[in-house]
Amino acid sequence: MKKEEIEHLLADYASGEISANDKARLEEMFAKDPALKQEADEMEEVWQAINQPNHQPGKDMDNGFYAMLQNEKEQQKGARVVKINLTWLKTAAAVAACLAAFVIGRYTVSPEKITEYKVKTVFVKQPAIAQAIKTEDTRPVFVSRPVENKTALAPKNSEPEEHLTLAPQLRSVFASERMAAVAKLAAKADVTQNDLKMLEMVLNEDPSANVRLMVVNALQPMFAKNDVQQLFINTLGKQDDPLIQSTIVDILVEARSKQAVPQMLVLLDDKNTAPSTQTKIKTGIESFLN
């Protein structure tokens, strides 16, 4: 047994937090090493001997706390009253504005009837559409492929046709369509190298964090494959969304993927990395060492 392991067992033994199994293991060692037994018993005695001095807080501390609590309760009440007053004020102001508008309108409108109507055509500018995924490919973006021959027989190997449908869908301007395409890819019984390449492209380049997160969740069950592991390690440095970084770190730590340590250290040193992600990385690396 390693020295560190024995030290941990002794710490548990002295504090009384040792499990039955560990105690049995220690007692076996005690039988072979009386000096170890003596050390353990002495440490236990020291633990028992450490007494907490009977520090009694004074009345001043209680008074201070209750004064602070009362103050907070007053402030909270005050905030509520201000909120309620503001609500009433807003309501009163809205009612006054409506009445004023009615009165002004009632007494300023001309008594003459409108007898002539003019028709005017108004052109409204459409809002700009969302940006598509940037790729090196300069061909125009397609939403759907027109069906050329409805009576044609389905090919035996359906993968090329499936790619023709899914690849443009993964470049759709609508995130929901891209997510649907990711779901279809992930649901395939046999995910090919081409599929993995497409998913990797989406994971590295898609502007929507939700779509990228969907790819992470889709790839997680396939983590046993070396190329999927490498994909996760490579993409870690390219992700700026804290939730995605954190999810990938969790997957790598759970799988005890030590090859990911250099990339995790790079992320740890980056000041822009979220503190919660940095904490996960530190804990994960420590667990690799223990």
Partner 1 sequence: MTDEQLMLAVKNDHLDKAAILYERYKKMLYGFFMYKNNNDKAKSDDNVQQTFYRLIKYRHTYKEESNFKVWLYSIAWNIQHNDYKQAAKLNVIPTDILPDEPYIQKDDRYDELYQAMQLLPEQHREVLVMSKFLELKYEEIAQINNCSVGVVKTRVFRALQQLRTVYFKIS
Contact positions toward partner 1, by CB under 8 A? 4, 7-8, 10-12, 14-15, 17, 39, 42-43, 45-47, 49-53, 55-58, 60-62, 64-66, 68-69, 72-73, 76, 279, 282-283, 286-287, 290
Q: Are 259 and 229 in contact (CB under 8 A)?
A: yes
Structure tokens at 129: 């559409």
Q: How far apart are CA 201 and CA 209, in angstroms?
A: 14
164: left (phi over 0), alpha (psi -120 to 50) or beta: alpha
Helix 193-205 vs helix 159-170: angle between axes, to the nearest 10 degrees?
Answer: 0
DSSP assignment letter at 107: H
What's the distance, CA 203 to chain centroid? 15
Helical H segments across the chain, by residue range: 3-15, 20-32, 34-49, 59-108, 159-170, 175-187, 193-205, 209-219, 226-236, 242-254, 261-269, 275-289
Cβ of residue 236: shortest distance to partner 1, in angstroms? 21
Q: Which is nearer to partner 1, 45 or 270 (CB)?
A: 45
In terms of CB distance, is 180 or 243 closer to partner 1?
243
What does the block give as tokens for 209? 């964090």
Measured from the CB of residue 11, what is the shortest distance to partner 1 in angstroms? 4
Number of Cβ within a 10 Å radius of residue 51: 6
74 or 161: CB nearest partner 1: 74
Closer to partner 1 by Cβ: residue 16 or 127: 16
Nearest-approach distance from CB 48 to partner 1, in angstroms = 10
Q: What is the nearest approach in angstroms of partner 1 to the Cβ of residue 250? A: 16
Q: Nearer Cβ to partner 1, position 192 or 283?
A: 283
- Give the shortest CB-216-to-partner 1 separation in angstroms: 23
Report, in Å, the least distance between residue 22 CB and partner 1: 12
Cβ nearer to partner 1, comparing 46 with 95: 46
Closest CB 4 distance from partner 1, rounded Å: 7
The CA distances from residue 271 to 131, 242, 246, 268, 277, in Å, are 29, 13, 15, 8, 11
Which of 219/264 has CB closer to partner 1? 264
Place of tokens 């690396």: 285
